Amino acid sequence: MKKKLILVIIFVICLVSCGHQATVNNKIKDNIQNIGSTESPNISSTNQASDANKSNTDWKPNHGIADVVSKHDADGNTEEYVYINSNEGWKAYSEPIGAGQKHTILYKTTDSGVHWDKIIDSADTSSTMPGGDILFINSKVGWIISNFPMKGTLRLYKTNDGGVTWEIQDISSSSEYSAITFNANLPVFFSMKDGIIFVSCIDTVSNKDIDPVAFITHDGGENWSIISLDENDKTFSWNIKKQDNTISEFQIIYNNEVWNSEDAINWTKIKNK
């Protein structure tokens, strides 16, 4: 009788222990899903990206993007969040590594930032992704601006699979820019096809800033061409305002609509031309 009682007690202890271990394992699993991520961006009161496409009159660049949030710290590290709808988004954690380059880790969420899955790390030997600023315009297509100093050439990296693999887009300019290095903002898309990149320029001969240029596309970013401030494209015209020799405002006229921005990311429609 005593043996049976002892066996029952041991059995109960095992059940309790196994149940406790399962709970611990589940907590560990949940924690692993959140490794490398900090608190989700405070995009809205429900911790979800807002719907920027509620009506055509409220639609604004970038095309398809619901929210863009950027965080910085004193050491130059950044976290960038890009949401294309209320659930789906990317987070890039970047830290400077010198010569204008960044080490970047890219994550993706499909549940409004509750969980983040690591996609790729630019430091991995097999990685095709550089460090840099990110932009996605849909579930598959995105860009990274590397801003590696190259005379006469703008270097972009494009993904067609949601950030898993990346390909270089080296965009050459005309010979008059052969001594110029470019420092680019992220692309701005006013439709699925029409996009523009604002680029500041440094003359490496005089080591001075010169007037910025823009690169434009009409095929969704497959091909880009350069236009200066005094040139107009068939779709775009653009301008800038400066304060203390620094660009303080960007302006685009697209399809007879005038748009202004202070950071080339968030845009406000001023009027119909």
Do 6 and 109 reside in the same domain of the chain? no
Distances (CA, A) of 191 to 196, 221, 232, 268: 11, 11, 18, 16
Q: How many domains does the chain have?
A: 2
In a domain, 232, yes or no: yes
Do 63 and 190 reside in the same domain of the chain? yes
Do 222 and 119 reside in the same domain of the chain? yes
Q: Domain limits at 163? A: 52-272
In a domain, 59, yes or no: yes
Query: What is the model's pLDDT at position 161?
Result: 95
Do 21 and 60 reside in the same domain of the chain? no
Residues in CB range of 214: below 8 A, 6 or more apart: 196, 197, 198, 199, 226, 227, 228, 236, 238
What pLDDT digit, counting tens, does each position of 70-95 carry? Answer: 676 777 788 888 888 889 999 988 88
In a domain, 38, yes or no: no
Q: Which of 66-80, 210-224, 259-273 ranks highest by mean pLDDT?
A: 210-224
In a domain, 47, yes or no: no
Do 94 and 172 reside in the same domain of the chain? yes
Do 24 and 59 reside in the same domain of the chain? no
Do 197 and 117 reside in the same domain of the chain? yes
In a domain, 179, yes or no: yes
pTM over 0.95: no
Quickly state the pLDDT bin for 29 (edges 50, 70, 90).
very low
Task: Decide if 144 contacts 133 (C-beta within 8 A).
Answer: yes
Do 140 and 230 reside in the same domain of the chain? yes
pLDDT exceeds 80 at position 65: no
In a domain, 39, yes or no: no
Q: Which of 4-13, 28-37, 103-112, 231-240 ranks highest by mean pLDDT?
A: 103-112
Average pLDDT on 42-62 reads: 40
Average pLDDT on 101-118 reads: 90
Q: Is the dihedral of CA 115, 120, 124, 130 positive or negative?
A: negative
pLDDT exceeds 50 at position 16: no
In a domain, 240, yes or no: yes
Query: What is the model's pLDDT at position 12?
Result: 46
pLDDT exceeds 70 at position 42: no
Q: How is the chain split among helix, strand and coil, in percent rounded to 5? A: 15, 40, 45
In a domain, 198, yes or no: yes
